[in-house]
Chains A and B, each alone.
Chain A
Amino acid sequence: MDLIWEGIKRALHLLLTLDREVLGITILSLRVSLLATFISLVAGIGAALLLALNRFPGRRLAIALVNTGMGFPPVVVGLVVTIVLWRNGPLGFLELLYTPTAIVVAQAIIATPIIAGVSLAALQQLPADLRLQILALGASRAQMLWLIVREARLPLLAAVMAGFGGVISEVGAAIMVGGNIKGYTRVLTTATVMETSKGNFDIAIALSVILLLLAFAVNALLTHVQQRNRQR
């Protein structure tokens, strides 16, 4: 119990004194996860719209793949991204392995199927004729897509929260493709793993508290946006 209490006190101390290293780790975690979530948002909602509004051969297989992708083990994603970005790998010439960009790539791959899957379910909940109704009002195809997304905005924000939750808490792929390099690719989850393995539970708890606060703050903001437009 003392251990936890000490950890919380240590976390507050690190936060209140604006510890440079912790601050750097926190900002990098936030930056990487938000960027990965944004990329996944564009790709995931795009894929969901494609699958929800069109009928084409192989569509069911594509939906099955998206649903499978929602449960991708991060270490498998980390392994694949590592191989692809390895010095002798297909994209090795980009020299992205052990950079924050590599973490963004891995996290985006993890979050895209999550956002696509939840978004697809949300879009399929809309009335089947809504797309035709919007076109019948005189909308262009781009206007129709925008209105469809707007109509599903509440569950789509839930998809964003699920995607962000998936990447901010992810550790396996981040360690594998980022390397947990101090001051460069060390994020909250990888730092927590490292401190725990070293027996520095107070710092590990402090980092975990910061991680929880961060996840809560972002989700609280998204929830606020989601609920703000609930109708009177």
Chain B
Amino acid sequence: MSGEILTVRDLVVHRGNVPVLALPALGVRAGSVLALVGPNGSGKTTLLQTLAGLLEPRSGVVALAGEPLDSRGARAAYRKRVTLVFQEPLLFDTTVRANVESGLKLRRLGAADRAARLADVARRFGIAHLLDRSARKLSGGEAQRTSLARAFALKPEILFLDEPFSALDAPTREALIDDLARTLQETRTTAVLATHDQLEAMRLADTMAVLREGRIVQSGRVAEVINHPADELVAAFVGMETVLEGIVTSCVRGVLTVTVAGRDVQALGEARPGETVLFGVRPENVTLALEPGRDTSARNSFRGAVVRLAPRGPILKVDIDCGFFLTAIVTVRSAEDLALQPGREVVASFKATAVHVIRRFPPACG
């Protein structure tokens, strides 16, 4: 496909003599972020290390801008154009400054260039005040910030990220994801992110590939994969939350209006008008009725038709087409009362507070 900076064809990777990865095709568009998601042992790290030129595939081709990595020399040259951030920060036993500059020195950049890049990434990742501190004295979050700064200082053509937040506590992770999302957006860096966190993928990635047992079982835009999982196992992994992409049309006193498929959804949050956001509605927060309720606090009510009913023990998962797809969960008794069946018209409602807005990068509310 045109615009793809990284392409993979018929890739087979072994660990020892055991085949662990088999990929007929994969492409990463320039400037985009691809999330590789899957459970532990699904092959995310192996794929990432192969794409980063650190593992030699048994067969198949990895190519950067059409140039195949078909020899040890080609892979060594390629590694000077990309980089990888591991789950552990893997910093050297020296200062933060020397750590951030380490890759630049290995790539033989001059002192002036190194200083300029150091200042830029130190500002982006908030580590300017730590530059003279020993890397051994950093907290987990500071160390991972340093590791990310070291990677971005290289201005890689592709940045590979192997679950870089999984060892961090929640508040630290949130702040770092914000900074990474902003930096990826501003630098237009092409990235491939391995993660087992659906929200992380939604916040950072444009496209998603789900891996299972060394194979890609589904790939596509993030919202597509989450809303239309290919099978039960993908659904179980990515969750059942309805995820929609819309454009913010207004932001008034913390209440957003987001237009999706020509319909306005009210949500709590902050975003700028014109900004594209993802938002999720958990199925248990969607209520169904035959007519719009007059005395309800739900700010969002949409008339639609039942598309599918799927039993889940004592409950039913109901997909409704309201111009966009919504998923609701109802009891079997409620389904009988409402006579739910495919094609049945219903009104789906949910509160603005039940909408989970996910911004791709977080500037202040406009």
Chain A residues in the interface with B (C-beta under 8 A): 127, 129-130, 132-140, 143, 147, 150-151, 231-232
B154 to A137, Cβ gap below 8 A? Answer: yes
CB distance from B79 to the nearest CB of A (A): 6
Q: Mark B79-107, 1 if CB is under 8 A from A, else 0.
A: 11011101010101111000000110011
Per the bound structure, the CA–CA distance linking A136 and B93 in Å amounts to 18
CB distance from A152 to the nearest CB of B (A): 9
The secondary-structure label for the interface of chain A is helix
B88 to A135, Cβ gap below 8 A? Answer: no
B90 to A129, Cβ gap below 8 A? Answer: yes
Residues of B within 8 A of A140 (CB): 76
Partner of A231, one of B86, B88, B93: B93
17 contacts between A and B (CB under 8 A): A129-B86, A129-B90, A130-B90, A132-B49, A133-B86, A135-B79, A136-B54, A136-B79, A136-B84, A136-B160, A137-B83, A137-B102, A137-B150, A139-B106, A231-B134, A231-B136, A232-B133
Per the bound structure, the CA–CA distance linking A129 and B136 in Å amounts to 17
CB distance from A212 to the nearest CB of B (A): 33
B90 to A133, Cβ gap below 8 A? Answer: yes
Per the bound structure, the CA–CA distance linking A211 and B54 in Å amounts to 50
In the complex, the chain B residue whose C-beta lies closest to that of A144 is B106
Residues of A within 8 A of B83 (CB): 136-138
B106 to A137, Cβ gap below 8 A? Answer: yes
Residues of A within 8 A of B58 (CB): none
Given the interface pairs A231-B93, A231-B94, the reply to whether A135 lies near B136 with Cβ below 8 Å is: no
Among A135, A137, A147, max chain B CB count under 10 A is at A137
Residues of A within 8 A of B94 (CB): 231
In the complex, the chain B residue whose C-beta lies closest to that of A231 is B134
Residues of B within 8 A of A147 (CB): 92
The 9 closest A-B pairs by CB, nearest first: A231-B134, A137-B103, A136-B84, A138-B80, A133-B90, A138-B107, A139-B106, A138-B106, A132-B54
The answer to whether the Cβ of B137 comes within 8 Å of any Cβ in the partner chain is: yes
Residues of A within 8 A of B102 (CB): 137
Residues of A within 8 A of B267 (CB): none
The answer to whether the Cβ of B202 comes within 8 Å of any Cβ in the partner chain is: no
The answer to whether the Cβ of B209 comes within 8 Å of any Cβ in the partner chain is: no
Per the bound structure, the CA–CA distance linking A32 and B33 in Å amounts to 60
The answer to whether the Cβ of B37 comes within 8 Å of any Cβ in the partner chain is: no
Residues of B within 8 A of A134 (CB): 106
Residues of B within 8 A of A130 (CB): 90
Known: A133-B86, A138-B80, A151-B92. 16 other contacts (CB 8 A): A127-B88, A127-B90, A129-B88, A132-B86, A134-B106, A136-B82, A136-B84, A136-B160, A137-B103, A137-B150, A137-B154, A138-B83, A147-B92, A151-B93, A231-B93, A231-B94
Per the bound structure, the CA–CA distance linking A15 and B154 in Å amounts to 58
The answer to whether the Cβ of B52 comes within 8 Å of any Cβ in the partner chain is: yes
Among A138, A139, A143, max chain B CB count under 10 A is at A138
CB distance from A216 to the nearest CB of B (A): 27
In the complex, the chain B residue whose C-beta lies closest to that of A147 is B92
Q: Mark B119-139, 1 if CB is under 8 A from A, else 0.
A: 000000000000001111100
Given the interface pairs A136-B84, A137-B83, A138-B79, the reply to whether A143 lies near B106 with Cβ below 8 Å is: yes
CB distance from A8 to the nearest CB of B (A): 42
CB distance from B34 to the nearest CB of A (A): 18
Partner of B84, one of A127, A133, A139, A232: A133
Given the interface pairs A127-B90, A129-B88, A133-B86, the reply to whether A232 lies near B134 with Cβ below 8 Å is: yes
A135 to B54, Cβ gap below 8 A? Answer: yes
A136 to B52, Cβ gap below 8 A? Answer: yes
CB distance from A57 to the nearest CB of B (A): 12
B137 to A231, Cβ gap below 8 A? Answer: yes
Within 8 A of A (CB), among B45-76: 49, 52, 54, 76
In the complex, the chain B residue whose C-beta lies closest to that of A230 is B134
Per the bound structure, the CA–CA distance linking A147 and B92 in Å amounts to 9
CB distance from A76 to the nearest CB of B (A): 38
Residues of A within 8 A of B92 (CB): 147, 150-151
In the complex, the chain A residue whose C-beta lies closest to that of B102 is A137
Within 8 A of A (CB), among B277-329: none
Among B49, B54, B106, max chain A CB count under 10 A is at B106
Residues of A within 8 A of B107 (CB): 137-138
Per the bound structure, the CA–CA distance linking A139 and B105 in Å amounts to 9
In the complex, the chain A residue whose C-beta lies closest to that of B132 is A232
A231 to B95, Cβ gap below 8 A? Answer: yes
Residues of B within 8 A of A133 (CB): 84, 86, 90
In the complex, the chain B residue whose C-beta lies closest to that of A129 is B86
Per the bound structure, the CA–CA distance linking A73 and B286 in Å amounts to 79
In the complex, the chain A residue whose C-beta lies closest to that of B93 is A151
Per the bound structure, the CA–CA distance linking A140 and B160 in Å amounts to 19
In the complex, the chain A residue whose C-beta lies closest to that of B52 is A136
In the complex, the chain B residue whose C-beta lies closest to that of A154 is B93
In the complex, the chain B residue whose C-beta lies closest to that of A137 is B103
Q: Mark B25-42, 1 if CB is under 8 A from A, else 0.
A: 000000000000000000
Per the bound structure, the CA–CA distance linking A134 and B92 in Å amounts to 10
In the complex, the chain A residue whose C-beta lies closest to that of B82 is A136
In the complex, the chain A residue whose C-beta lies closest to that of B55 is A132
B154 to A138, Cβ gap below 8 A? Answer: yes
CB distance from B80 to the nearest CB of A (A): 4
Per the bound structure, the CA–CA distance linking A137 and B52 in Å amounts to 10
Residues of A within 8 A of B95 (CB): 231
Per the bound structure, the CA–CA distance linking A127 and B160 in Å amounts to 19
